[in-house]
Amino acid sequence: MNPVSGSGRLVLAATPLGDSRDASSRLIDALARADVIAAEDTRRLRALATALGVSPSGRVVSFYDAVETGRIPGLVEAMRDGQTVLLVTDAGMPSVSDPGYRLVTACIAEDLPVTCLPGPSAVTTALAVSGLPCDRFTFEGFAPRKTGERGRWLTELADERRTAVFFESPHRLAETLAQAASVLGADRPAAVCRELTKTYEEVRRGGLGELAEWAAEGVRGEITVVVGPAAPVATDIPSLVAQVRARVEEGERLKTVVAEVAAAAGVSKKALYDASL
């Protein structure tokens, strides 16, 4: 079934990060045929449409953070009337640190169909070119702006066993990387991906300390940072057994304690249980 025909529905469409040639044929078709196009930036939408050689036939409305909540009732009503609403953001996938999540949940609450035209995403693109483990990762959105909040956030990543991906503005990048080097360690492997898919694309790889020194000279463009997972820590089974026994003596169930301690330490639950008996 073509996602832009038939009964009313919401279509989330990924747009190119920089190179318009990354647009899919389905996106081009959707831009031409959708009844309503909700765009994070209407000027960028029209520039993209021109680059793709397509003329939107539907109504174009702005849909950015400040107006998102106010626009939702009208868009939901349009879908109830059988119209197709196409949601696009400036670049990448709607809802991924961009407007869209609230509209999706509103559609789900109204039992309106939601579908997606997959495509570019800075998160997975940066992860793929980083050279860091990709089998498990966590996306952290934008790094906190305030130093204290950012420090607490980085502390939570100190023992993260998955690769972490986050966005940062160019004028805060050096400060964030320096703080990350202090909290996570200067040798923690990372990659800074700048202007992905654009003319001046650049990927810098190295330890956080090295990257912080590089960024101190000034960096421009759209930034995605990838930080490698924490190195496995040698496990001291006897000390874990001591923790388990101390909690059991205080009245907690052995199996419950073993499960919690094993998960926190990253060891086999069965091995810890056997050692604790």
CATH number at residue 165: 3.30.950.10
Laid out side by side, the sheet with 137-142 consists of 137-142, 163-168, 223-227, 189-194, 202-207
pLDDT at 207 over 60: yes
- Average the pLDDT over 71-78 and give the result: 98
- Average the pLDDT over 147-163 and give the result: 94
Q: How confident is the model at residue 270 (pLDDT cuts 50, 70, 90)?
A: confident
Q: Report how far residue 176's alpha carbon sits from residue 132's, in angstroms, rounded to the nearest whole number.
A: 19
Q: What amino acid occupies position 240?
A: L
Give the other-Cβ count within 10 Å of 63's Cβ. Answer: 28
Residues 111 and 129 occupy one common structural domain: no
pLDDT at 17 over 90: yes
Residues 217 and 247 occupy one common structural domain: no
Q: pTM of the entire structure?
A: 0.81
Residue 277's pLDDT is: 86
Residues 15 and 105 occupy one common structural domain: yes
Domain boundary among 100, 120, 140: 120
Question: Does residue 61 form part of some domain?
Answer: yes
Domain total for the chain? 3
Domain boundary among 120, 138, 158: 120
Question: Does residue 3 form part of some domain?
Answer: no
pLDDT at 2 over 50: no
Mean pLDDT of the chain: 93
Residue 149's pLDDT is: 97
- Nearest one of 38, 33, 28, 32 to 85, comparing CA atoms: 38
- Nearest one of 198, 134, 143 to 168, comparing CA atoms: 143
Domain boundary among 120, 138, 172: 120
- Average the pLDDT over 67-94 and give the result: 97
Task: Note the pLDDT tens digit of each residue in 219-248.
Answer: 999 999 999 999 876 567 888 899 899 999
Residues 96 and 45 occupy one common structural domain: yes
Question: Does residue 268 form part of some domain?
Answer: yes
Residues 24 and 50 occupy one common structural domain: yes
Residues 168 and 243 occupy one common structural domain: no
Residue 181's pLDDT is: 96
Task: Note the pLDDT tens digit of each residue in 35-47.
Answer: 999 999 999 999 9
User: Tokens 């990048």 correspond to what residue?
Assistant: 173
pLDDT at 210 over 70: yes
Containing domain of residue 162, as a range?
Answer: 123-227
Task: Note the pLDDT tens digit of each residue in 156-194.
Answer: 999 899 999 999 999 999 999 999 999 999 999 999 999
SS3 189: strand
Residues 196 and 134 occupy one common structural domain: yes
Residue 237's pLDDT is: 84
